[in-house]
């Protein structure tokens, strides 16, 4: 059985029919990205993913990374793929062409990422990390820093990382101990240790540019005193070529549950006193810069979750059609009934429709967030830009936290559909499940995403951003109510949106009261119910779009549109009522998590 990737038809449906992405070509910024160009880009990404990248996934997972004689060795197959990414200019797909990017819409870039990351998540992380680090230089760097780093990073000649986490700090970034001591020439001596650094050391590129969080001598404690620095593996000469080694030493690599092909390093900076960094942006404003990168990185993690979930679903669907085992339930009492493909078995069908519904909602949501960013860039209205950014901000913790929670569920179902074979590393489902698990942890754990939603996004602009999002939902509900076969689904979603509004008000008030600890103990359930309702909205929107498509569909497209409608009906009929129960539980409240004595957890 050939291993599968995301369904191209649904990718086209979201981009062209649900989001009308090619309309952006009416604006000068995206003038070349008409439907024909978008389709060509997608075809190239999918072809590269299937023909070149996917065959390296299992071997790279098996080989993993190693540290030998001070050198980090990554899977040999990855070096050729990196060259293909460089040649195809896949490293800076949505970035400014003036610095070597392709300037494509963010939603299209996300679609390409779904294919390339789904084909080999560990390998594509080198691309994403480089892209994210270069974005920081572009956003906060001086002209000299941009000239020094950007083209080489966006082209893939050099790679990038992010040095944030420390052994004693973890998610508490303000507790970092890495120091930056000013030099007379305006540079800084950097000294400290960082851990969990993806892509932190390898020889796949001529240099590695590390954006590093550190505290300048005498700066305030906590996050207020953190600054951001560029620290290259090799110092950069005047002519732009790599020069002297910059005292950034890999002291170990992590042996992980998944993403074996990506080297996760511990790095020591300045142990011999020779690590030189340049300030990136303003002193003591490193966290502000960091959050800009983190918001983008969190959405990328959501796309990672989508990519492995969509691959797991595609594999499971193909396997269920081919795998013959047991009789159909309706004929099992007959004499010698024939075995049938397992897709005929009710429990398999239950899992497949759940996988389909979740994957399709993830795709629509993430591409929608990307399209909001694209529409913001071409808008002439400051008010509209602010509205779109508010929606992006509210949906970012959902796009990272909720999506990856559901991605792991999908990958777990994907293993279950295979049965015992799913648990065997010979088949792809085990690796997809292992790789997926990290998406719930890095770039801010999903618990942190939930705290962000409750503590920052819920009250943003006095609640306007949330209300703007709910207005978008209501517009879809009003439109769907005019369609006979969607009216009941619209009513169900409207009821859920109203209930979510009640829960949001309750959570907001509780978080501002003496009961704040109990409120944050419910932050993750709150993120879950918010994500449930957002997914239901995406499905109703998809159903509206599919209903319009059915009216003029050719025979080959009718099954697809019927599938979209079936997934929407399943999700709103079968999944959304569960969310109503969760919302009732939040409103009822329980203080047990916070009042149970710590000793009671053990005895």
> For this structure, is 443 an active site residue?
yes
Rg (CA), the chain: 25
Q: For residues 278 and 345, is the Cβ–Cβ distance under 8 A?
A: no
Task: Tell me which H or E stretch contains 395.
Answer: helix 382-397
DSSP 8-state secondary structure symbol assigned to residue 163: B
Distance CA 23, CA 105 (A): 11
Q: How far is CA 578 from the centre of its chain?
A: 25
CB contact at 8 A, 562 and 543: no
CA separation for the pair 208, 471 (Å, rounded):
45
Terminal CA-to-CA distance of the chain, rounded, Å?
Answer: 50
Q: What share of the chain is helix, strand, coil (3-state, %, to 5)?
A: 65, 10, 25
User: If 0-12 CB within 10 Å is exposed, 13-18 middle and 19+ buried, where does residue 47 land?
Assistant: exposed
Distance CA 512, CA 515 (A): 8
Calpha distance 422→288 (Å, rounded): 43
The widest CA-to-CA distance across the chain, in whole angstroms, is: 90
Question: Going by C-beta distance under 8 Å and a sequence separation of 6 or more, which residues neighbour residue 90?
Answer: 45, 48, 84, 112, 116, 127
For residues 315 and 359, is the Cβ–Cβ distance under 8 A?
no
> What is the DSSP secondary structure assignment for residue 189, as one 8-state letter?
E
Cα–Cα distance measured from residue 415 to residue 269, given in angstroms and rounded to the nearest whole number = 41
Name, in order, each residue with C-beta under 8 angstroms of 132's C-beta and a sequence gap of 6 or more.
Answer: 160, 162, 293, 296, 297, 300
CA dihedral 491, 413, 6, 59 (to 10 degrees): 160
Q: Are 160 and 133 in contact (CB under 8 A)?
A: yes
The answer to whether the CB of 374 falls within 8 A of the CB of 106 is: yes
CA–CA distance, 461 with 457 (Å, rounded to integer): 9
Measure Cα distances from 115 to 4, 43, 276 in Å.
10, 10, 38
Distances (CA, A) of 64 to 60, 77, 375: 6, 11, 40
Q: Which residues contact 252 (CB under 8 A, 6 or more apart)?
A: 67, 265, 266
Q: Which of 443, 484, 494, 502 is catalytic?
A: 443
For residue 441, give the nearest of 170, 251, 228 by alpha carbon.
170
Q: How far from 219 is each of 16, 142, 149, 271, 584, CA to CA, in Å? A: 50, 22, 27, 22, 47
Helices 487-511 and 464-480, packing angle to 10 deg: 170
Neighbours of 71 (CB within 10 A): 11
Contacts of 394 (CB under 8 A, 6+ apart): 453, 457, 460, 465, 466, 469
Q: Which residues are catalytic?
A: 443
């Amino acid at each position: 059985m050939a291993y599968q990737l995301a369904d191209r038809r649904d990718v086209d449906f979201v981009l062209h029919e649900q989001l009308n992405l090619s309309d952006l070509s009416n604006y000068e910024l995206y003038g070349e990205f008409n439907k024909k160009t978008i389709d060509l880009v997608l075809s190239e990404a999918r072809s590269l993913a299937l023909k070149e990248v996917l065959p390296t996934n299992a071997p790279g997972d098996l080989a993993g990374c190693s540290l030998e004689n001070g050198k980090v060795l990554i899977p040999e197959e990855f070096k050729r793929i990196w060259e293909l990414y460089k040649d195809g200019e896949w490293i800076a797909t949505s970035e400014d062409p003036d610095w070597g990017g392709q300037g494509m819409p963010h939603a299209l870039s996300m679609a390409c990422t779904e294919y390339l990351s789904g084909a080999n998540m560990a390998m594509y992380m080198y691309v994403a990390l480089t892209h994210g680090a270069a974005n920081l230089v572009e956003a906060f760097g001086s002209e000299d820093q941009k000239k020094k780093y950007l083209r080489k990073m966006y082209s893939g000649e050099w790679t990038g990382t992010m040095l944030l986490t420390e052994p004693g700090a973890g998610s508490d970034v303000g507790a970092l101990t890495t120091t930056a001591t000013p030099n007379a020439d305006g540079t800084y001596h950097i000294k400290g240790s960082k851990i969990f650094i993806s892509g932190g050391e390898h020889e796949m590129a001529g240099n590695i540019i590390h954006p590093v969080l550190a505290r300048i001598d005498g700066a305030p404690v906590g996050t207020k005193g953190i600054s951001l620095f560029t620290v290259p593996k090799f110092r950069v000469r005047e002519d732009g070529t790599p020069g002297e080694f910059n005292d950034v030493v890999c002291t170990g690599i992590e042996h992980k549950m998944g993403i074996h092909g990506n080297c996760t390093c511990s790095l020591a900076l300045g142990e011999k006193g020779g690590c030189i960094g340049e300030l990136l942006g303003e002193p003591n404003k490193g966290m502000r810069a960091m959050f800009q990168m983190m918001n983008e990185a969190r959405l990328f993690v959501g796309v990672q979750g989508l990519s492995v979930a969509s691959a797991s679903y595609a594999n499971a669907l193909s396997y269920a059609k081919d795998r013959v085992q047991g009789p159909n339930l309706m004929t099992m009492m007959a004499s010698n009934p024939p075995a049938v493909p397992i897709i005929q078995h009710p429990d398999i069908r239950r899992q497949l429709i759940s996988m389909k519904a979740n994957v399709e909602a993830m795709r629509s949501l993430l591409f929608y967030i990307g399209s909001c960013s694209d529409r913001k860039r071409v808008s002439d209205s400051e008010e509209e830009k602010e509205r779109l950014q508010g929606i992006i901000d509210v949906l970012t913790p959902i796009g990272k936290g909720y999506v990856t929670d559901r991605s792991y569920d999908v990958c777990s179902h994907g293993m279950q559909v295979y049965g015992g074979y799913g648990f065997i590393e010979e088949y792809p489902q085990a690796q997809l499940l292992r790789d997926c698990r990290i998406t719930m942890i890095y770039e801010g754990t999903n618990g942190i995403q939930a705290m962000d939603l409750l503590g920052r996004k819920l009250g943003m602009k006095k609640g306007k951003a949330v209300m703007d999002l709910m207005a978008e939902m209501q517009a879809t509900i009003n439109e769907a109510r005019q369609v006979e076969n969607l009216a009941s689904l619209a009513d169900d979603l409207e009821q859920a949106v109203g209930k979510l509004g009640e829960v949001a008000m309750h959570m907001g008030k509780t978080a501002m009261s003496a009961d704040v600890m109990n409120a944050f103990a419910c932050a993750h359930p709150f993120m879950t119910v918010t994500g449930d309702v957002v997914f239901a909205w995406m499905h109703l929107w998809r159903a509206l779009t599919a209903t319009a498509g059915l009216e003029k569909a050719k025979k080959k497209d009718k099954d697809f549109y019927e599938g979209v409608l079936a997934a929407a009906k399943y999700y709103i009929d079968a999944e959304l009522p569960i969310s109503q129960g969760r919302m009732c539980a939040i409103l009822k409240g329980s203080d047990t998590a916070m009042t149970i004595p710590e000793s009671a957890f053990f005895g």
